[in-house]
Amino acid sequence: MDWRLIVPKEGTLTKEETDAAYEIRLRCGQPLQLFGPRGQRTGSWPLTQESIRLAAQALTGHSLSLYEPQLKEGFVPLPGGHRMGVCGHMGKNGLYVFSSLCVRMAHEIKDAAETIYPLVKGENVLILGPPGSGKTTLLRDLIRRTAQEKQVAVIDSRGEIAACFQGVPQLDIGPGSDVMTGGRKDEMMMTMLRAMSPQVMAADEIGSTEDTSALLEMHRCGVKVMATAHGDSLAQAHVRQSLKPLFDTGVFRFVLLLSCPGHAPRCIDLCEK
């Protein structure tokens, strides 16, 4: 993906900066914002609604109209595991009049779980952190390492873990992984349980009561689980109605708490609390 497609005429940002970016935000009437290893960079000229529309068209291969179902959910999965979030006015046909785009870049870092994997190997793990903190990157590497030894069912509803193209993963998730995309997480988990007999179930961004019910069923069936969820702290996660049953029943042994990309997670052993 050439990120210069969405920053045309933006001479203040180098290719190296756009290639290393975690996130690029485009807002009507405001200059582009880029977030990367060196912090935030700001473009030099305000964007128009037309330039935002053209950026969305370029990122979807000039086939934006084909993504109407995804647009209704507020985001479009892009090749390579990247994601374009959209904001604006939704008309009767479901397509937005765009006012903002948020392009989040997937980074396949194969040593992301190198130090933490020996500690959590074979246990139920919840990766907790705010948006953009690297939860999916860490989960992907945990899946890759686990799938060297076990059968892993990957529930990739947003297409960011495996970056499947025509059903085939484009990112390395290990030889023992099977991926399902395009549906509700809870329904896909139950289907994978019946169809693939996994030893481990992995899901990204759990948050609904239906997700929780499915994970509890995995736990009752003896399937190990690895998942991510939004949260700034363990205390905050404990009181979330959708996550509380998972803590109350002792599903997770470890919580990996992330704060920002590139920083090692804090590993919390719930059996020691």
Q: What kind of architecture, by CATH, is found in domain 117-272?
A: 3-Layer(aba) Sandwich (3.40)
Short-list 68, 64, 42, 40, CA closest to 52: 64
Residue 257's beta-bridge partner residues?
A: 128, 266
Tens-place pLDDT, residues 2-58:
666 666 566 667 778 777 888 899 999 999 999 888 888 888 889 999 989 888 888
Instruction: Give the per-residue pLDDT at 62.
Output: 83
Instruction: Give the per-residue pLDDT at 5.
Output: 66
CA distances from 221 to 30, 120, 216, 227 (A): 51, 20, 9, 17
Short-list 144, 128, 134, 151, CA closest to 224: 151
Tens-place pLDDT, residues 195-240:
999 999 999 999 999 999 999 999 999 999 999 999 999 999 998 9
Please state which CATH number belongs to domain 3-104: 3.30.450.90
Instruction: Give the per-residue pLDDT at 4.
Output: 62
Instruction: Give the per-residue pLDDT at 3.
Output: 62
Instruction: Give the per-residue pLDDT at 105.
Output: 82
Instruction: Give the per-residue pLDDT at 91.
Output: 74
Instruction: Give the per-residue pLDDT at 1.
Output: 58
From CA 103, how far away is CA 46, in angstroms rounded?
17
Tens-place pLDDT, residues 231-267:
999 999 998 989 999 999 999 999 999 987 667 899 9
Tens-place pLDDT, residues 102-123:
998 877 888 899 999 999 999 9
pTM of the model: 0.80
Helix ranges, the chain (H): 15-19, 49-59, 68-72, 117-120, 135-146, 185-196, 209-220, 234-239, 244-248
Short-list 181, 229, 223, CA closest to 200: 223
The answer to whether the beta carbons of residues 177 and 152 sit under 8 Å apart is yes
pLDDT band at 160 (very low <50, low <70, confident <90, very high): confident
Instruction: Give the per-residue pLDDT at 202.
Output: 98
Could you tell me the residue ranges of all domains in the chain? Answer: 3-104, 117-272
